[in-house]
């Protein structure tokens, strides 16, 4: 059986921290699906297309990494693609509280396990929301993007 993990997130933008989680997950699974969750009503097809394309082009030469968008509940997507596990990253206690609740719901709703990887210290303060804010003030964020 192919071991498949889903790494779900908004990835707005996809950062070096996210990329490290993908790389580290490949040590344990045959395939990782980077799943871009769409639940913000303000996201246009155009924006989404750009986000997906950027991530997909980064991994286009690696058949073990797939990039897909989804609009359903995460556990339903996980089942639909035949994956066994959700992977998430934890940077701090703030992430921990949230991830623990989500993992509990994923197990309760669908019997799906969540594997959490701790962020490496050099990536632990990188967040998409901070990068979006810096960018909105005209700062160059390219050092933090893969
Ligand atoms: P969401 O909106 O689902 O939290 P994000 O795109 O912000 O989506 O994050 C997706 C996952 O990646 C989450 O589990 C988050 O904790 C994790 N993550 C985000 N940034 C980092 C980082 N710098 N290092 C490790 N994990 C991270």
CA–centroid distance, residue 116 to ligand 1 (Å): 11
Residue in this structure with the two tokens 């997130």, named with its chain if needed: 9
**How big, in percent rounded to 5, are the helix, strand and coil portions of the chain?**
45, 20, 35
Q: What is the pLDDT of residue 39?
A: 72
Average pLDDT over residues 42-54: 76
Which residue puts its alpha carbon closest to atom 8 of ligand 1? 9
Ligand 1 neighbour 7 (Cβ under 6 A): no
Residue 43 has pLDDT above 80, yes or no: no
Protein residue with its CA nearest to atom 1 in ligand 1: 9
39 or 56, which is more confident:
56
Interior angle at CA 122, CA 24 and CA 14, nearest 5: 60
Q: Which of 4, 106, 14, 23 is nearest to 53 (CA)?
A: 14
Active site residue 128: yes
Give the integer Cα–Cα distance in Å for 17 and 131: 12
What is the per-residue pLDDT across 20-42, written as a single tens digit (0 to 9) for each?
Answer: 999 999 999 999 999 999 876 65
% of the chain at pLDDT higher than 90: 88
Which ligand 1 atom lies nearest to the CA of residue 129? 7
Q: Is the CB of 128 under 6 A from ligand 1?
A: yes
18 is catalytic: yes
């Amino acid at each position: 059986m192919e071991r498949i993990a889903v790494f779900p997130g908004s990835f707005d933008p996809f950062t070096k921290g996210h990329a490290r989680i993908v790389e580290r997950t490949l040590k344990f699974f045959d395939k990782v699906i980077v799943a871009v969750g769409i639940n913000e009503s303000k996201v246009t097809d155009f924006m989404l297309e750009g986000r997906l394309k950027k991530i997909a082009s980064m991994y286009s030469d690696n058949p073990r990494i797939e990039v897909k968008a989804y609009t359903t509940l995460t556990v339903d997507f996980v089942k639909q693609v035949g994956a066994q596990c959700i992977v998430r990253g934890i940077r701090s206690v703030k992430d921990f509280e949230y991830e623990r609740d989500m993992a509990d719901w994923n197990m309760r709703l669908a019997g799906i396990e969540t594997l959490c990887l701790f962020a490496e210290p050099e990536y632990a303060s990188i967040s998409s929301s901070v990068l979006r804010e810096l960018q909105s003030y005209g700062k160059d964020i390219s050092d933090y993007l893969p």
